[in-house]
Amino acid sequence: MRSRNDEGAVLIFALIITTTIALVVGALLTRGDGSLRATVALRQVAGTSYAADAAANVAINDLRTGNGFTSGGFDNSPGTLLGCFGHTLSSLGDPDGLSLNGFYPGSTGATDTSAYVQCAGEHGTGQDGSPVPISDKNHPGFAIITLNGDIASASNLAVHGGVYSNGAITGPVVLDAGDVWANGSCTQTTVTASATKHCNSGSTLPDPNDCGVATQAATCHGYDSDLGGTVPTLQTPPTTCTAGYLAIFTPGYYDDAAAMNAATSRCSTVWFKPGAYYFDFHNDGCATVCPANLFPTGSSDQWTIPRGVSVVGGTPIDAAGNVLARPPDNPSMPGACESPVTSTTAVGVQFVFGYNSHLYLAGGGSQGAHTELCASYHADRPPIELYGLKSGTTPAAASANALKTSATPAPTGSGAGTWTNVTAAALSSADGVAATWATTGNGTKTGTLTMSGFAPVGSIPVGSVLTGATLHVTHKEVDTNASTATLQVTGASAATPPLTLPTRTTSGTDNIDLTTVPAVFNSLQKQVHDYGYAGARLTYNGTVKTNGSNSETVDAVSFDLTYAVPVLRGEAGTCVQGGASPCKLLALDPSGNNKIRLYLQGTTYTPYGDVDLTLSNFSAEVAMFGVVARQVEFTINTGNPSYHGPVFQIPDNSPGYGYENSTVDLKVYVCAASPTCAPSGTPALTARVQLWDPSGSPAPPARQVTVLSWSHSR
């Protein structure tokens, strides 16, 4: 029998040790292979990351230096069609793309890496934004709102912002932003892919000034006029040209279209100083308060700005935005006045039109009418530059009766004779206590009694229309030589023509209706209109040709006035909403060569008025801050307009960083070991970059750059 030993156990131990070593080595080899693969993968990720960083930095540097631009640099202007890197859609498929083919070197023998950078200007920044804060509080909800009529376009009407018609939208209307609403049809209206059309909506938008609508209670008064519910002081249009070229208007009330037309035809440039203007013309005729004596007929209630004249409304500025003391001759437009679109300090005009008053721009010749109206900026309400008054009152008759002298009269005489009992009390009532002029001697003798005062309880304001006047005189003459009287309103430069009094040889009272003596009444009516009425001077003249001692008496003098003071009159007559043939509150020469330039730097609010614009040869019209009107009409009448952008615009909401800030979003796509790269899949990096230009215009290579965010995707 074989003896037992430990060889089998040793073998088992050897197998165990060998297996353990193999497992350990195998595990180590497995871990080493995984780490190697991870190292390779991480190296590839790092390379993509480095390439993305480099591509983004190249793009940012191009934006900073303006590389690729013939001049200037990217300013996020939607109108120029220039992309971020200096090219347009016509020159390259993607105007906002930067191809960086083989820009990042690969490892030895490997193909270089390429990248593609997509750039998008942030909406509301740079030239696409506003240097002033814009919000829903200070602009209408749509670029065009028609409250009781259509938006009617005979040609392609470009609009920036939404439109809302309580009627239909007829003709081609093209929007580059915003939705379309129409109570009626709107089949030819075109919107962007991200916008919607609501034709035949059956929905009516209320007047934003209607405070009866609960949802508008907090905003409706933002559409109140700047007049504050009262008529401002009547102003006289300028009759001379300052510095030989400039007619200067002062804020206030203007009631004569003929005088306006004369004033705006007199000089090459017309300036309306900042403030509120109320245009309520009386030339078309109306009950009681439109007498031909004051308001020449024939011009109607239309104020016409003639061709060849430049009208600036608001604070004048130069090309650099510096405020001027007055506009230059033939100012460049747009940019002749400080605009609420570009300045929070803009102080401008508001033109308020009442009754039938309306504005027309003439065209043709070497230059049509050029007009730029700039409103005042407001953070909490629209900057309205053109306003159609929708409500008001009818002028009511008022009276000031028994107006008497209140100061000691001043007697004078020529020839023999003296005045006695010359007191205000003696002339206040027909009581037999009279001022007496006693004459002696032979020949012709004259005596004058000048009385002042005749003040009403309250002054009658300038611009009032005198509708009646009666003079009461208790007097006695010596012979058949009649006495006369003249009236001169305080402040007036001349008196009325003499009024011949009836001859009385015994004391008695004459009640003379001055409206039956047109020469006298018309003169007095004009004096009251031009100077108001706070008092007057009445001069009594007597003549005696009888020889010997005689006496004339003046026992009492007074007069009564009836008048109508200026009131705010809502749009009415032929211009009123729903009229059979409504006139245009704002209209332009419709000819094909009008060469008109019209820039409305503010919101146009004419709820009862029709706005009718015609673009033609070498013309340009832009309504910058939205239009609310009864209806809107537009056409392009042949020729070649100077302006091809949106005619009606509404600024996009903006925090108001200013044109100096253009913000861009960058997406970087990396194609490793590839000669080219396309923008597909997930970008390797996204970044947001802010470009600052203190002057408001790109100034490469000195632009300031701030990286707002920087994020790798892989």
Residues 274-330 have pLDDT tens digits of 999 999 999 988 878 999 999 987 668 999 999 999 999 999 999 989 999 999 999
Q: What span, in angstroms and rounded, lies between the C-alpha atoms of 310 and 316?
A: 13
For residue 7, what is the enclosing H or E element? helix 7-65
Of 39, 118, 101, the residue nearest 682 (C-alpha): 118
Please report the pLDDT score of residue 27 as a whole number: 47
3-state secondary structure of 58: helix
| pLDDT value of position 8 | 42
268 token code pair: 């090459």
What type of residue is 463?
A: G
What Rg value do the Cα atoms of the chain yield, rounded? Answer: 41
Which residues, in sequence order, are bridge partners of residue 403? Answer: 559
pLDDT (0 to 100) of residue 195:
94
Whole-number pLDDT of residue 89: 64
Residue pair 514/528 in contact by the 8 Å Cβ criterion: no
H/E element, 529: helix 518-531
All residue ranges of the chain with pLDDT < 70 are 1-44, 89-93, 108, 298-299, 413-416, 578-581, 714
CATH class of 398-563: mainly beta
User: Checking phi first, is residue 253 left (phi over 0); if not, alpha (psi -120 to 50) or beta?
Assistant: beta
What pLDDT, on the 0 to 100 scale, is given for residue 41? 43
Q: 179: Cβ–Cβ under 8 A, 6 or more apart, which residues? A: 162, 191, 195, 196, 197, 198
pLDDT tens, position by position, 335-379 = 999 999 999 999 999 999 999 899 999 998 889 999 999 999 999
Q: Provide the greatest CA pair distance for the chain.
A: 199
Question: 380 has which bridge partners?
Answer: none
Q: Amino acid letter at 339?
A: S
Q: What are the domain boundaries of the chain?
A: 40-129+657-712, 133-207+646-653, 238-392+593-606, 398-563
Q: Decide: 509 and 472 in contact? Cβ < 8 Å.
A: yes
